[in-house]
């Protein structure tokens, strides 16, 4: 199971934690602020972070064969959602967005 979350709401315990706060934050752009990591514009913006491909590959290797992987960013709306969706797709796993609707 891949779970996205926001560090500001507390981090989960009992699995691998991936910190997506190193990626570009779409919240800082007015046009993306109220969208989520399920939106194509947000996905493109996060994936456009310099070095994203290499960073994502490291996270993918780390997440492989792990029963629980938690992906966090500040609020759990943008970066963590993008990465969690990608990991779930690449690993053939389920995804849950714990804080996507929290404010």
> Cα separations (Å) of 70 from 2, 7, 28, 41, 94?
6, 11, 23, 23, 12
Residues whose CB falls within 8 Å of the CB of residue 40, separated by 6 or more in sequence, listed in order: none
pLDDT in tens, 51-96: 999 999 999 999 999 999 999 999 999 999 999 999 999 999 999 9
Residues whose CB falls within 8 Å of the CB of residue 94, separated by 6 or more in sequence, listed in order: 1, 2, 88
pLDDT in tens, 15-52: 999 999 999 999 999 999 999 999 999 999 999 999 99
């Amino acid at each position: 199971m891949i779970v996205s979350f926001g560090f500001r709401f507390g981090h989960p315990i009992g699995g691998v934690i991936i910190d997506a706060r190193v990626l570009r934050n779409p919240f800082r752009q007015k046009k993306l602020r109220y969208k989520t990591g399920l939106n194509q514009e947000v996905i493109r913006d996060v994936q456009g972070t310099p070095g994203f491909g290499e960073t994502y590959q490291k996270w993918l290797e780390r997440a492989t064969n792990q029963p629980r992987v938690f992906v966090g960013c500040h609020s759990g709306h943008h970066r963590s959602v993008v990465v969690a969706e990608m990991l779930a797709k690449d690993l053939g796993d389920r995804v849950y967005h714990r804080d996507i609707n929290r404010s």
